[in-house]
Chain A
Amino acid sequence: MSDAVSELREPLTARPVSYAEITADIARPLEGKPTRLWYLGIGISGTALLLGMLAIGYTISTGIGTWGLNRTVGWAFDITNFVFWVGIGHAGTLISAVLFLFRQRWRTAVNRSAEAMTIFAVLCAALFPLIHMGRPWLAFWPMPYPNLRGSLWINWRSPLFWDVIAISTYFIISATFWYVGLIPDFATLRDRFRGLKKKVFSFLSLGWNGSARTWQRYEVVYLLLAGLATPLVFSVHTIVSFDFATSVIPGWHTTIFPPYFVAGAIFSGLSMVLTLMLVARKVMRLENYITKGHVGSMCKLIIGMGGIVGLAYATEFFIAWYSGNPYEQFVFMNRALGPFAWAYWIMVSCNVIVPQLFWSGRIRQNLALVFGLSLLINVGMWFERFVIIVTSLHRDFLPSSWASYKPTLIEVVTLIGSFGLFFTLFFLFCRFLPVIAIGEIKGVSQWAQKKPQEVGSGGGGGDGAADSTVNGQTEEANA
């Protein structure tokens, strides 16, 4: 990870900074008082979280009937939110693991927050299968644990059980990956703090000493974890898509779902990372590290994923027509022209048309616009899941059982609450942990790219030697 970056490339930090400045900049939010914007942010998200908790409490105490579901539409907001949040998580893994393996070094500015986002999103996602149960207090029953209930066991054929395994695996790997990546930064923070904070960070940094051997082992572990996490980018959403693909309901029973869902998940995750990057950049004053170049790269990825998603939409329609299956054909006609056509066209406009705007470099450079468009894609991707779930269910085989669906206030507040949870966790993360991997960003800073002979005359590099978190090569360079 310490390969030199070509001088022809745009630098990955906006202006040249020394190691000391980097450390100071990134540790600043942890040391001083938070900005007003931060207070505002956590205030809003905390309120949303609180409201969501109230709504969930009401649901659990009163019954699933407090949602707008019915005999025909058994899932709607609940599983839509679940799939949406799982999808969000994917970009985090993609950026931290897949881009790492592909040596996309621009990822260093965003990987930490993307990984944090993954974990928070998986937490939000895990909430919904839990509370969507009629009897959530029995939520441990889908776990394969030894029990005294005779021959009662779990159903290995049920995609919901596969989900349980996939999501928990994903959470464990992502959390481990994130934590391992944080260890060098914990050590940096340990060195900067006194008192309780020092004790906490000492504990968390697992006795990191910044030696070349430590760095070398760290990088091996990190590489292995990246390798382990990479398949998860594909497996988790594949399995989530099995919830639908293995069913018999037209509109769900579709073989295209695994790749379609994975592409959709990455697509939605990228737009969420983009949203968060732009927020963190502003709120945490990290303009120097999260540059327009980063934003541009994200936008380009989004164009690519958006294209795959658009192709999937078209393929679905083609196959429905080509299959000659009247139920299948009807579901797609009903999506585009039926009572939920508005949801379908929101989905198509946000996911297929909006990303096309990113072809323009001017738009990619206009951060306010990019922020708005990234939000639109988030909306579109939420509607994609809503469309798949609700429009397929509400008019299936027997016309006698056709029904409509309208969310209740409780469901809407629960959705808001999940955003509250997500952003509360994110704001806490911004306040208490380094949002950018200090060790990694140093490796890509212009200062690190200097030849050894230039180092002596380099400005402000003096206390770099005292910094135990400078990565291996620069350590050697200092020597």
Chain B
Amino acid sequence: MTSPTRRSFLKLSGFSMLAACSRGLDQKAIPLLVPHEERVPGRAVWYATGCSGCAAGCGVLARSRDGRPVKLEGNPAHPLSKGGLCATGQASVLSLYDSHRLHGPRSRGEAVDWKRVDAEVRAGIEAARGSGTAVRFLTGTIHSPTVLAAIRSFGARFGNFQHVQYDALSSSAQLDVYEKMLGTRALPRPRFDRADVIVGFDADFLATWISPVEYTRDYRAGRSLEEDGRHSYHVQFEARVSLTGANADRRFVRSPDGLRDAISELAVAVARRTGASIPLTATPKPEIKELAARLTAADRGTTLIVCGLDDADAQKTVAWINTQLGNYETTLETGRLSHQSQGSDTDLLALQREIRAGAVGLLFVAQCNPTYDRPGLLDLTKVNTVVSFAGHDDETASKAQFVCPDHHPLESWGDAEAVDGIVTVSQPLVAPLFQTRALVDSLNIWTGGTDGDASSAYDLMRATWKQALLPRAGAGAGSFDTFWAKAVHDGFAKLKPATVRVKPPAASTLRASAREPGTEGLALVLYAKTGMLDGRHANNPWLHELPDPVTKIVWDNYACLSATAASRLDVKEGDLVDAGGVKLPVHIQPGQHDDVVAIALGYGRKGTDRFAHVGPDWLEGDPTVEDGEFVGKNAAVLRGKARVAVKTANGRRVLACTQPYQSLTVPEELGGDKRPMVHETTLKEHRRPSASPEEAHGSHGGSVDLWPDDHRFKGHHWALTADLSACTGCSACVIGCQAENNVPVVGKDEVARAREMHWIRIDRYRDDGDVAHQPVMCQQCDNAPCETVCPVLATVQSSEGLNQQVYNRCVGTRYCANNCPYKVRRFNWFDYPHDDRLANASLNPDVVVRSRGIMEKCSFCVQRITEAKAEAKREGRPLRDGDISPACVQSCPADALVFGDRNDPDSAVSKAWTDRRQYRLLEELNTKPSVGYLSLVRNRDV
């Protein structure tokens, strides 16, 4: 070897530099400084991962642009969510870029580095081990095999350790009942797709109950309109108005006590028909008798009764009825049990007693917020050391000595076995934005693991999978690396389910539920609201500005009263009332029981004062919340009360509602006509063989057209259909669209001024107690009234039937919006705040952020159309049906929306276009919309 030359020195040093720079491990986010083979700037990359919005465990495809996740969509291959993703899941991408997340660990309220907090927590652990005091690990529902294993092995180091799980939205009573029936603390998985008759008792399974996306998919699958398909008959009993109730074929209003009675009545009525004897005495009401007749007339195992009441006796009776009807193992799947709710209120109360007794020396709190959702229950001052893993400085974290913030799920590895044998894999899409650390890492480090290298979460997860999951995968799984690679690629692994035998409850043990004591005030119903759920997403402005599917109100919670109850109290919409000490504005909710006050949980969260100035700041603009106040009020303080006194309080609070007029019937004094926006029919009528499509709904053919036949759409002709029978109004599309199209958040005052910016809205009409949901976006008219009136040609027709808005040409006359019969155009009244630079990272780079003074609207996600066309061209093939899926269509858990090319006769949209149910909004104006609606079919006789 010759002595080094200048050249060889440079080569060597260059090589060593590169070697030092390389970050070969794929589990780390890749900086763009090092070009990656697969990474093309400007081209999106998709990764399969898991949703963290709630414990339902849906699968997600995350879209990463230039190294940052910008959009979450349902993973179509995922066995639970099957491509759907709810509003909460869609919105969780914004939470990643939340600048109010904790930027690093804290010790006694002070920001410190990990070294110091680790040393202090270790000292606490050693002290607890030394003294032998109780160590408790309090969490929400955790079904992650890795985290559970880590907690188990962590707990093994202590003499007195217990992992306590509880849920803010509790199914504890139901779990207690099933624990006895199944021998394991899990729930059977309701299969709405297999049921001919569905009875719901206060279970809002299409919106917030346990796993709404999964249930919505299944529910929709069981409501076929084909001649020989299954179309379930759905009856809902409830006290308030839930989205599920609004979608039911029959809805019966009962007070909370009445619901329990109705369950007993149904048990009695079913027992009479099956000849069983039960120790319940109740006189079934006619509708219950009729329902029992339907249930027993149906084939065994084709009915399903679900109950959302947190009442063990009621749950047991429901389980007994389900047994009588043979529903276990068919409509209540026990092969794959659900772990989507695990909490035990008994354990939580035991923990309360221990803490009160001063027996707990060390408490870890993760993925829950007991100080907020169980106010006053746990006296944390009596615990020596509290360690929180919260990502925000929430109510509980601010009381903890140490806060060791966990990653946002998009920053870390993770898994979730929400349903037996279906394990969702989460993978990081971006390097942690802050100095946060995965929970399993923290536990590992405190028990003498590695030095805090973030890769350890990855190693720990792999180890768990190798040890615990691979053996369950069966012979076909191959080597661990193959198994792992497939799971990471697919976003989930399917394992063999465990076999469980159901031990039905003995009829003799059935008891009528105890009546709620007291008659004063009104019966209290606390409920979860779409998006906000238990309050864990209170930092997400998208979810605050999502119109509630039932009330269409944003940015607040409120006391829902029926019109009768309100008039008894002499209050009007927006008047403040004092409900058991919580001052809330009144919302008058038609269809609610007269003896009920219903209040949403999840509001009044600490930190929501940040939204005071979320909207534009101008002379007459009101703040979204007063300085120092939170968004809404925390109703969890009323937990445990069956009835509350509701008194009028002084003052008013305007509720911002996106749809003040809620009926299709115009006011009586102005004519009282019912407008034909929603076409409705019954299942019977629909299945009656009819001669021609025209007959079905009187088509409007052969009209004279003043327009020249100058746009013929020779190539593609994009169109969308919305099936009103399938749409549940869940509003996932609204958030999906907001994320995709950079729709700004405008704040409460702007919404109250009817200036919300959402490009898609769900019109909700209530007539004679029946509710209809109608998604309305730009109708992309072929004869668009907006186009003719724009003086500067800022809105024009594309050769593919799109009504395009040219932002940089728009001068903002608003004439187009005035002339739009569908009122789908949105004007930028202000420069909406984009000061939070971190939040701006969630913006979709494919869609421009609109400036002040211009008009905008739904574009059918033209950026996706363009992308799909470019991709097809690159691959040298024609576009296929299904290549393009606008954000709303993609997100719909009910498959209510179909998008495609009308010029392709085989496309799904072309088929829907010729469906007998198809009609178009305001067809008589000859605007020729490219959005079609399929009429609403209700399963009832009249």
Binding site for B on A (CB under 8 A): 58, 62-66, 68-75, 129, 132-136, 138-139, 141-142, 152-155, 157-161, 164, 243, 246-249, 326, 329-330, 333-334, 337-338, 393, 395-404, 408-410
Q: Complex: how many Å from CA A164 to CA B659?
A: 36
Docked pose: A396 CA to B852 CA in angstroms: 26
- Chain B residues with CB under 8 Å of A397's CB are 675, 821-823, 922
* CA of A164 to CA of B791, assembled, Å: 9
Q: In whole angstroms, how far apart are the Cα atoms of A129 and B825 in the complex?
A: 20
Instruction: Find chain B residues with CB under 8 A from A400 CB.
Output: 659, 661, 677, 761, 763-765, 774, 776
Can you list 13 A-B contacts with CB-CB less than 8 angstroms, sorted by A residue number?
A64-B814, A71-B755, A75-B814, A134-B812, A134-B854, A139-B811, A249-B818, A330-B670, A330-B671, A338-B670, A397-B922, A398-B677, A409-B620
Query: How far, in angstroms, from A82 to B645 measured CA to CA in the complex?
Result: 55
Q: Spot the interface stretch: B238-246, B504-512, B828-836.
A: B828-836
Cβ of A74 and Cβ of B815 under 8 Å apart?
Answer: yes
Q: Which residues of B contact A159 (CB under 8 A)?
A: 789
A393 lies within 8 A of B818 (CB)? yes
Q: Is the CB of A152 within 8 A of B670?
A: no
Q: Out of A134, A246, A404, which one reaches B811, CB within 8 Å?
A: A134
Complex Cα distance, B811 from A253, in Å, reads 24
Question: Which of B811, B819, B827, B854 touches A142 (beta carbons < 8 Å)?
Answer: B811
Residues of A within 8 A of B826 (CB): 71
A396 lies within 8 A of B827 (CB): no
Would you call A154 and B791 a contact (CB within 8 A)? yes
B664: interface (CB < 8 Å): yes
Give the shortest distance, in Å, between A148 (CB) and chain B (any CB): 14
Contact B788 A402 (CB under 8 A): no
Q: How far is the CA of A158 from the CA of B855 in the complex (A)?
A: 17
Q: How far is the CA of A132 from the CA of B813 in the complex (A)?
A: 7
Is B670's CB under 8 angstroms from A334's CB?
yes
Binding site for A on B (CB under 8 A): 616, 618-620, 659-664, 666-667, 669-671, 673, 675, 677, 750, 753-756, 761, 763-765, 774, 776, 785, 788-793, 809-815, 817-819, 821-823, 825-831, 852-855, 921-922, 925, 927
Q: A329, B813: Cβ atoms under 8 Å? A: no
Cα distance A9–B596 when bound, in Å? 82
Flag if A399 contacts B663 (CB, 8 Å). Answer: yes
- Residues of B near A404 (CB, < 8 A) are 660, 754
Shortest distance in angstroms between B597's beta carbon and chain A's nearest beta carbon? Answer: 27
Q: CA of A338 to CA of B823 in the docked complex: distance in angstroms?
A: 20
**Choice from A152, A161, A396 contacting B809 with Cβ under 8 Å:** A152
In the complex, what's the smallest C-beta–C-beta distance from B779 to chain A, in angstroms? 11
Q: Report the nearest A residue to B927, measured CB to CB.
A: A248
Chain B residue, CB-CB nearest to A389: B818
| Pairs A-B, 4 closest by C-beta atoms | A134-B812, A134-B853, A65-B829, A74-B814
Task: List B contacts of A136 (CB < 8 A).
Answer: 811
Q: How many angstroms from the CA of A408 to the CA of B855 in the assembled complex? A: 21
* CB of B390 to closest CB in A, whole Å: 37
Q: Contact between A70 and B776 (Cβ–Cβ < 8 Å)?
A: no
A408:B620 contact, CB within 8 angstroms? yes
- Asked whether, in the complex, the Cβ of A155 is within 8 Å of the Cβ of B823, the reply is no
Residue of A62, A134, A329 most packed against chain B (CB within 10 A): A134
Partner of A155, one of B619, B761, B785, B793: B793
Q: Which residues of chain B have C-beta atoms less than 8 A from A155's C-beta?
A: 788-793
Measured CA separation A408–B823 after assembly (Å):
22
A216 to B793: give the CA distance in the assembly, Å.
Answer: 49
Quick one: which of B670, B791, B822, B828 has the most chain A CB within 10 A?
B791
Which B residues touch A393, using CB under 8 A? 818
Could you tell me if A65 and B755 are in contact, using CB atoms closer than 8 angstroms?
yes
Which secondary structure characterizes the binding site on chain A?
loop
Decide if A326 touches B822 in the complex (CB within 8 Å).
no
Contacts of B662 in A (CB 8 A): 399
- Please tell me if the beta carbons of A249 and B819 are within 8 angstroms of each other in the complex: yes
Q: Are B765 and A64 in contact (CB under 8 A)?
A: no
A247 touching B814 in the complex, CB below 8 Å, given contacts A58-B619, A70-B755: no
Whether the pair B812, A135 counts as a contact (CB closer than 8 A) is yes
CA distance A337 to B668 in the complex (A): 11
CA distance A409 to B621 in the complex (A): 12
User: In the complex, are the beta carbons of A141 and B827 less than 8 A apart?
Assistant: no
A142 touching B791, Cβ below 8 Å: yes
* A159 to B855 CA separation, bound complex (whole angstroms): 18
| Min C-beta distance of B777 to chain A, whole Å | 13
User: What's the nearest-Cβ distance from chain B to residue A60, in Å?
Assistant: 9
CB distance from B471 to the nearest CB of A (A): 55
Asked if A398 contacts B823 (CB within 8 A), the reply is yes
**Are B619 and A409 interface neighbours, CB within 8 A?**
yes
**Docked-complex contact B753 and A68, CB < 8 angstroms:** yes
Q: Point out the residue from B618, B666, B819 that lies within 8 Å of A399, measured CB to CB.
A: B666
Q: 15 extra interchain contacts, Cβ-Cβ under 8 A, other than A141-B791, A152-B792, A337-B669?
A: A58-B619, A63-B829, A68-B753, A71-B755, A133-B813, A141-B792, A155-B791, A155-B792, A157-B788, A158-B788, A160-B791, A246-B788, A247-B785, A400-B677, A408-B619
Q: Would you give the shortest CB distance from B737 to chain A, in whole angstroms?
A: 16
Contact between A134 and B827 (Cβ–Cβ < 8 Å)? yes
Q: Give the shortest distance, in Å, between B284 (CB) and chain A (any CB).
A: 39
B763 to chain A, nearest CB (A): 4
Select which of B616, B763, B822 is within 8 A of A65 by beta carbon.
B616
Distance from A341 Cβ to chain B, minimum over Cβ atoms (Å) = 10
* Given known A-B contacts A72-B823, A135-B854, A248-B821, A158 and B815 have beta carbons under 8 A apart: yes
Question: Could you tell me if B790 and A158 are in contact, using CB atoms closer than 8 angstroms?
Answer: yes
Given that A398-B776, A403-B660, A408-B620 are known contacts, is A248 also in contact with B819, CB under 8 Å in the complex? yes
Q: Indicate if the CB atoms of B854 and A71 lie closer than 8 Å.
A: no
Closest to B795 in A: A155
Q: Is the CB of A133 within 8 A of B789?
A: no
Contact in complex: A134, B852 (CB < 8 Å): yes
| Cβ-neighbour of B821 out of A396, A402, A408 (below 8 A) | A396
Interchain CA distance A246-B819 in the complex, whole Å: 10
With A and B bound together, what is the CA distance between A426 and B361 in angstroms?
A: 86
Given contacts A154-B791, A393-B818, whether A65 and B618 have CB atoms under 8 Å apart is: yes
Complex Cα spacing A161 to B791, Å: 5
Contact partners of A249 in chain B: CB under 8 A: 818-819, 821
What residues on A are CB-neighbors of B812 within 8 Å?
Answer: 64, 133-135
Q: How far is the CA of A342 from the CA of B762 in the complex (A)?
A: 32
Partner of A72 from B754, B791, B811, B815 at Cβ < 8 Å:
B754
Q: Please determine whether A399 and B661 come into contact, CB atoms closer than 8 angstroms.
A: yes
Q: Are B828 and A134 in contact (CB under 8 A)?
A: yes
Residue among A243, A248, A401 making CB contact with B925, cutoff 8 Å: A248
CA–CA, A71 and B816, complex, Å: 11
Contacts of A72 in B (CB 8 A): 754, 823
Chain A residues near B855: list those with CB within 8 A: 134
**Distance of A87 Cα from B293 Cα, bound (Å):** 72
What is the bound-complex CA distance between A132 and B812, given in angstroms? 8
Contact B853 A333 (CB under 8 A): no
B240 CB to nearest A CB, Å: 22
A95, B817: Cα distance in complex, Å: 38
| Chain B CB within 10 Å, residue with most, of A73, A399, A404 | A399
| Given A75-B814, A141-B792, A400-B776, CB of A135 within 8 Å of CB of B822 | no
Closest to A140 in B: B811
Find out whether the CB atom of B830 lies under 8 angstroms from the CB atom of A65.
Answer: yes
Q: Known: A63-B831, A134-B827. Contact between A399 and B818, CB under 8 A?
A: no
Residues in A whose Cβ lies below 8 Å from that of B669: 333, 337
- Please, which residues of chain A bring their CB within 8 A of the CB of B811? 133-136, 138-139, 141-142
A246, B811: Cα distance in complex, Å: 21
Q: Which residues of A contact B785 (CB under 8 A)?
A: 247-248
Contact B789 A71 (CB under 8 A): no
Given the complex of chains A and B, what is the CA–CA distance between A71 and B756 in angstroms? 8
Chain A contacts for B673, CB-based, 8 A: 326, 330
**What's the nearest-Cβ distance from chain B to residue A381, in Å?**
21
Residues of B within 8 A of A337 (CB): 669-670
Q: Which residue of A lies closest to B789 (CB)?
A: A158
B761 CB contacts on chain A under 8 angstroms: 400
- In the bound assembly, the distance between CA atoms of A166 and B509 in angstroms comes to 87
